[in-house]
């Protein structure tokens, strides 16, 4: 993934008739075969530097092109989020959401793609009709259990302790950070331009990492070789979903969901996070895809769940996500 084409090793061809021993063999495939062998035997990029600095090169393909960037995972308490104030000044969608929030007395409102929101609401209504009674029954049972376990006088102290534990857990949780600046993702079209930027000392959000100086001193263009699991083809997601259930590529869509969640968190895109949050139609798609690649009864049930997910809703939702991510990319040559 990531690279638009992959070199495939040619299968050795056998000549239909072996030439005489005295005649020299003239095989026009030898040159290409030798070239393929050189490609296959090429040593992989040294990962020692990336392992030491705990940062990884990432390749992301979007409708506008393919670019390289960096990603790291650190405890939330160690990171200062990217500053989106300047970006949001020019964002008409954010301005619209803020107006709606004010009119709704500070009630949280997220403006999504209208077509996707309408289709998703229709699916939610159908789901609620089928399992509404089951959910109400479970809620009543949980309420009864809570009443039975409640201890008078311990509510306030227990709530404070639980809040402290939640804060500590949130601070220790590892979260993604990308090569960003002022709310925009920096994408570089070549490894050389990425290395030049890093060595320049230009401001960016990853410079707060304790290993950043070491990376800027040692990084070479040859080191910028993302692993397969760090290459993402967001440009292919919508088209794949439009092809219908039988054409869906689980690996492509699952990996797209992973990087979209990371980008939405690091770039502070609440609408994208909401669209991919637990219980959303796109999260249901993700779970069904993950189940479908497993064998046995789990895989069978996952494939059955996929058949119930609307291809139009999924493609519209992902069109919105890719569009919102693309809108906050700063392309660098």
Find the angle CA(237)-CA(238)-CA(243) to the nearest 5 degrees.
100
* Total count of domains within the chain: 1
Q: Which domain holds residue 101?
A: 43-114+174-332
Regions in the chain scoring below 50 on pLDDT: 1-43, 95, 97-102, 104-111, 133-134
Residue 162 host element (H or E): helix 155-172
pLDDT at position 29 is 44
- Report d(CA 256, CA 277) in Å as an integer: 14
Nearby residues of 272 by Cβ (< 8 Å), 6 or more positions away: 260, 263, 264, 321, 324, 325
- Does residue 203 lie in a domain region? yes
> Could you give the 3-state DSSP secondary structure of residue 52?
helix
- Does residue 6 lie in a domain region? no
- Report d(CA 281, CA 293) in Å as an integer: 19
pLDDT at position 72 is 98
- Does residue 126 lie in a domain region? no
Structure tokens at 212: 């950043």
- Does residue 121 lie in a domain region? no
pLDDT at position 89 is 80
pLDDT at position 141 is 52
- Does residue 273 lie in a domain region? yes
- Does residue 34 lie in a domain region? no
- Does residue 158 lie in a domain region? no
- Report d(CA 223, CA 49) in Å as an integer: 8
- Does residue 9 lie in a domain region? no
pLDDT at position 46 is 75
Q: What is the DSSP letter of 80?
A: P
- Report d(CA 135, CA 132) in Å as an integer: 5
Nearby residues of 264 by Cβ (< 8 Å), 6 or more positions away: 270, 272, 273, 276, 325
């Amino acid at each position: 993934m990531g690279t638009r084409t992959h070199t495939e090793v040619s299968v050795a061809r056998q000549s239909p008739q072996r030439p005489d021993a005295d005649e020299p063999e003239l095989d026009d495939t030898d040159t290409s075969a030798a070239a393929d062998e050189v490609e296959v035997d090429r040593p992989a990029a040294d990962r020692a530097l990336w392992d030491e600095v705990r940062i990884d090169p990432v390749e992301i393909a979007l409708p506008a092109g393919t670019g390289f960037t960096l990603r790291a995972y650190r405890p939330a308490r160690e990171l200062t989020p990217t500053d989106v104030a300047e970006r949001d000044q020019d964002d008409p969608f954010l301005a619209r959401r803020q107006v709606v929030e004010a009119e709704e007395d500070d009630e949280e409102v997220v403006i999504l793609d209208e077509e996707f929101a309408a289709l998703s609401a229709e699916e939610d209504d159908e789901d609620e009709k089928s399992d509404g009674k089951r959910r109400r029954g479970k809620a009543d049972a949980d309420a009864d259990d809570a009443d039975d376990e409640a201890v008078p006088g311990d509510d306030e102290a227990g709530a404070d302790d639980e809040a402290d534990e939640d804060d500590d857990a949130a601070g220790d949780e590892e979260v993604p950070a990308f090569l960003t600046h002022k709310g925009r993702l920096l994408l570089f079209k070549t490894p050389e331009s990425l290395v030049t930027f890093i060595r320049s000392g230009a401001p960016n959000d990853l410079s707060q990492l304790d290993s950043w100086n070491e990376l800027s001193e040692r990084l070479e263009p040859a080191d910028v070789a993302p692993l397969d699991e760090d290459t993402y083809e967001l440009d292919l997601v919508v088209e794949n979903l439009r092809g219908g259930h039988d054409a869906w590529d689980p690996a492509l869509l699952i990996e797209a969901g992973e990087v979209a969640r990371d980008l939405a968190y690091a770039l502070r895109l609440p609408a994208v996070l909401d669209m991919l949050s637990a219980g959303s139609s796109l999260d249901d798609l993700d779970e069904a895809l993950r189940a479908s690649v497993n064998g046995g009864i789990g895989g069978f049930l996952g494939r059955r769940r996929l058949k119930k997910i609307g291809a139009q809703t999924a493609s519209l939702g992902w069109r919105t996500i890719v569009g919102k991510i693309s809108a906050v990319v700063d392309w660098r040559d």
